[in-house]
A and B are shown apart, each in its own frame.
Chain A
Amino acid sequence: MINSQAFFTGLKSLKGARSPALPLAACFVALGALLKDAGFNIQQSAASSFFTYALPGQLVMAESLLLGASIVNIFLAVWLVNFRLYPMTVSLFPLLEHKSQPKWKYYLSCHFLAVSSWLIAKDSYKKINAKYRIDFWIGIGTGTWLTAVFMTVIGYLAADLLNKEMLIGLAIVNPIYFFCMMIGAMKNIAISIAVILGTTLGPVIYLFSTEWSLLFAGLIAGTIAYLFGEKDVK
């Protein structure tokens, strides 16, 4: 059903110098401590990472709850901040597609889509036989997802041991790691423009619209980058 060799190759991406385990651990430990602070119990904290598994959305949820936002508002705010997962899935899953593979694998494993797993898969899918790429992806996803859930619990339990400076230090690891990985991915003009313009436009549009900034910045910067890429090919 699942090719174990491809699965374990994916799972093993947690090891080594390019491993996402460290930044994942840092940010989910910080999240676990934050959820405890917000009044979650340990099961609720673990469940949040288990079922949502998308850090920015979970941060929005915790902050909105503390501000007394309604469930509908939380739903909308999270949907907008996590909408990036849509273009991310569409730019990855066609690469993992194979006719012989059942559809359920794709619909279930899309839950593993997060920045860390996406960057690893984009970086290394070519090394895997096209037929088993989805199994490779399930391996990457299982590893990163379980790390996140486990580290949320650790963060919850260790909350009292972590002071504010340590938590701030842990929280910066995540964006820095992903920035470095994205710079590593800037191999052509289109991706380079997409990354640089997106980084700039994100905070700028945020000044005008907090909720829609990611969507607009992504669409504008991405489209400009695409047009430059096409021009370059010609």
Chain B
Amino acid sequence: MLSSQIIIFAIIATSIATYISRFMGAVTSQKVSVKSKIFKWFNCVAYSTLAALLGRMIIFPAGVLAESALTIRLIVFFTCIAIFIISKKNLVIPTIASAILLSFLTNI
């Protein structure tokens, strides 16, 4: 069992480590103009980093998701993306389908 003190220190460390990136972003933003090239570059990097994180969450997940099989996660992923495109970009159907499909396929 983890001691309460360690947990509190971990929460503080995690929160500071996270806020630093947000705060530095707000500071940098003061000097960046929307029309500049650097803004466009930051925009591309932001989308790629996010995509990299999501790709990693599907292929090498943390937490409970790691207990499902990779092939099943990939099947769910491609099915739900297809549903999203076919349903003319409806967000609710593919997200609900993903949970049901993954629970169901993991269970059988």
| Chain A residues in the interface with B (C-beta under 8 A) | 17-19, 22-23, 26, 30-31, 34, 38-41, 44, 47-48, 51-54, 56-66, 71-72, 74-76, 78-79, 81-95, 97, 103, 106-107, 110-111, 113, 115, 118, 164-185, 190-191, 193-203, 205-206, 213-215, 217-223, 225-226, 229-230
Q: Is the interface of B mostly helix, strand, loop or mixed?
A: helix
Measured between beta carbons, the chain A residues less than 8 angstroms from B30 are 97, 103, 106
Q: Are B48 and A195 in contact, CB atoms less than 8 angstroms apart?
A: yes
Beyond the given pairs A59-B63, A65-B2, A168-B67, 6 more chain A to chain B contacts, judged by CB atoms under 8 angstroms and listed by A's residue number, are A31-B63, A56-B53, A89-B22, A94-B33, A166-B103, A203-B59
- Total B residues in contact with A, Cβ cutoff 8 Å: 81
Query: Which 5 A-B pairs have CB atoms at the shortest separation, nearest pair first?
Result: A89-B25, A202-B52, A218-B49, A198-B51, A222-B45
Measured between beta carbons, the chain B residues less than 8 angstroms from A165 are 103, 106-107
Measured between beta carbons, the chain B residues less than 8 angstroms from A170 are 99
Q: Are A215 and B60 in contact, CB atoms less than 8 angstroms apart?
A: no
Q: Are A86 and B64 in contact, CB atoms less than 8 angstroms apart?
A: no
When the two chains form the complex, which single residue of B21, B85, B91 contacts A86, counting CB atoms closer than 8 Å? B21
Q: Are B103 and A180 in contact, CB atoms less than 8 angstroms apart?
A: no
A62 CA to B66 CA, complexed, in Å? 14
When the two chains form the complex, which single residue of A53, A71, A190 contacts B13, counting CB atoms closer than 8 Å? A71
Instruction: Decide yes or no whether B71 CB sits under 8 A from chain A.
Output: no
Q: Are B81 and A85 in contact, CB atoms less than 8 angstroms apart?
A: no
Q: Are B11 and A78 in contact, CB atoms less than 8 angstroms apart?
A: no
B51 to chain A: closest residue by CB: A198
Known: A56-B53, A172-B98. A91 touches B43 (CB 8 A): yes
When the two chains form the complex, which single residue of A26, A62, A179, A222 contacts B48, counting CB atoms closer than 8 Å? A222
